[in-house]
Chain A
Amino acid sequence: MSTVPSAAPASAAAAASATAPATAPAAATANRRLSLLRVLGPAHVWGLGVGIVLVGEFMGWNFSVAKGGALGSLIACWVVGLLYTCVAMIDSEVTSTVAAAGGQYAQSKHIVGPLMAFNVGLYLVMAYTMLLASDALVVGDLLKTVAERAGAPGLNPKPFVFLTVAVLAFLNYRGVLITLRLNLVITAIACASILLMFLATKSWSSGSLLHGQLISGLPYGWMGAIGALHFGIWYYLGIEGTCQSAEEVRSPPRSLPLGTMAGMITLLIMATMTWYVCTGLLPWEYLGTAVVPLFDAASVSNNAVLQVALFVGTLFAAIASANGCINDAARAWFSMGRDRYIPEWFAAVHPRYRTPYRAILLLVPIGVAFGFTGLLDQVVTFSILSGLLGYTVMPLNMVLFRRKWPLDSIKRGYVHPGHPIPAVVLLILCGLTYFSIYLGYGRQLLVMLGFYVLASLWFVLHRYRYVRRGAQFTMPWPRPQGY
């Protein structure tokens, strides 16, 4: 961290500006404020995106098996994979052009307008904060399970929930580079544990896995397969978080599309491998209710090394996800503060570590409070629904972006092929997934929509008067076509 330039204290800054000649440079220096550091590369972006998601391969995805059987889960894996591929394509094009912290929030602000941006910002903050709470909960529960298996039942998971959030908040506070370096390493280890599982079970040889005996078509028909889409989201939830690092990557037009697309390809492979190994080792009736399916599959194989590797992988995946969630939720909150959509106090950057430190601090009590509830399914559903609302806005964003600023009007870092097909496919698949969620969690869906309607009313009737309306649009773009 010694390479991080630190800002001068107020007195020193004042003295410097007092002695400087009263010319244009002095005026510019006096107005100059702190910004986030541009220190990240494509590997960090990959680590951030895959790190947030990978915990979903270790647990959660398997509830889709309970809804639609093993085949229904595979259909969900690939259909939702298509949904997220569309998300990654659209995000890559827009974020490589609107390279600002806040990601989809900044995109909506520039392309659609303030009310949409406020809602998208809120979806992002809620999705990542709830996911953070879930990950911390998972770490606590994992340690409790290990203590039980070691013959010491009765471990209280709450101090470990708090410890997880506090350690990761501390790291995030101290700098983005160290935070995402750690994420890259532990995400790679978690990925390696899935790969090890695939290799150790000799998945390629006939007879080692029992798909022929364990898979029994679609036990609940096509409605079951549609119902499985809800939990199919676990395979990929959070890959769009790569956009939050846009203001901190050295070369956004290169790093963001590369990191996001590489992350999406990694997840498609990991998700399919996870499904293949687990459904070949465990009966679908059990798999649909397992808490840690990959670890259980390792236990069935009677390989002690594999069990340890999968425990470490599960733990690291949960920690990487929590780490990425603090990073992303803080950037979204910070960028909303910068536009005064929430109090500007949250838009402060630490003069030494160059991180949005007040936004990071805020996440600790919220994450711990939701983590202490122990309601994993409710907290995760809130996260999934917030994420899905964000994806639903993307097709509109994309269509308006291409219409207002056609390809030759502004320089893009990446242009996704086949427009508007990804936008249309994304919209259709979002609709299908809402229906799937409505089948299982209809009340939560309606409650959450009500929450966002109330928040929107607060923004329009109260908060918008504090927003500097002209200053919020910062991209040096030409006037949009038709305006």
Chain B
Amino acid sequence: MNLLRLAEGAAWAVAIVLFGGILLDAWRTSRRYEESLLTSSREGEIEADAREVESGLEQIEDRLDEVSGRHS
């Protein structure tokens, strides 16, 4: 009988520790990061951003080529 009560007590304790742990982490995360960063992107938004970044970098490289061409 005592073993049963011990098992039940251990189950309560582990469950509370785990749930408490993720609650605490969630609270700390929400405090540490801005809400606009945490709020998820739309489907496909990251891919669109990556394409935008790539095209921007290409523009910069073209501009650098132009400038270095003028100087030489």
Contact = CB atoms under 8 A, between A and B. Distances in A.
Interface of A: 7, 9-10, 13, 23-25, 27-29, 31-36, 99-101, 106, 147, 152, 154-156, 159-160, 162-163, 165-167, 169-170, 173, 247, 334, 338, 344, 347-352, 356-358, 360-361, 364, 471, 474-476
A35 B41 contact: yes
Nearest to B31: A10
A32 B16 CA distance: 36
Contact of A34 (B16, B18, B37, B56): B37
Interface in B15-52: 15-16, 18-19, 21-23, 25-26, 29-30, 32-46, 49, 52
A387 to B, nearest CB: 24
Nearest to A168: B18
Interface residues of B, number: 43
B4 A33 contact: no
Contacts of B23: 361
A161 to B, nearest CB: 9
A360 B22 CA distance: 10
B38 A35 contact: no
29 contacts: A7-B33, A7-B37, A10-B32, A10-B37, A24-B56, A25-B53, A25-B56, A25-B57, A27-B52, A28-B49, A32-B46, A33-B45, A35-B40, A35-B41, A147-B4, A152-B1, A155-B7, A155-B8, A159-B9, A159-B15, A162-B12, A162-B15, A166-B16, A170-B21, A173-B25, A350-B38, A357-B29, A361-B22, A364-B19
Contacts of B57: 25
Contacts of A9: 32-33
Interface of B: 1, 3-4, 7-9, 11-12, 14-16, 18-19, 21-23, 25-26, 29-30, 32-46, 49, 52-53, 55-57, 59-60
A32 B1 contact: no
Contact of A152 (B3, B26, B49, B56): B3
A29 B53 contact: yes
A156 B1 contact: no
B31 to A, nearest CB: 10
B26 A358 contact: yes
A4 to B, nearest CB: 14
A23 B57 CA distance: 9
A33 B18 contact: no
A383 B29 CA distance: 33
Contact of B42 (A152, A173, A471): A471
Contacts of B8: 155-156, 159-160
B29 A24 contact: no
Contacts of B49: 28-29, 31-32
Contacts of A27: 52
Given A28-B56, A350-B29, A358-B26, A154 B4 contact: yes
Nearest to A357: B26
Contacts of A33: 36-41, 45
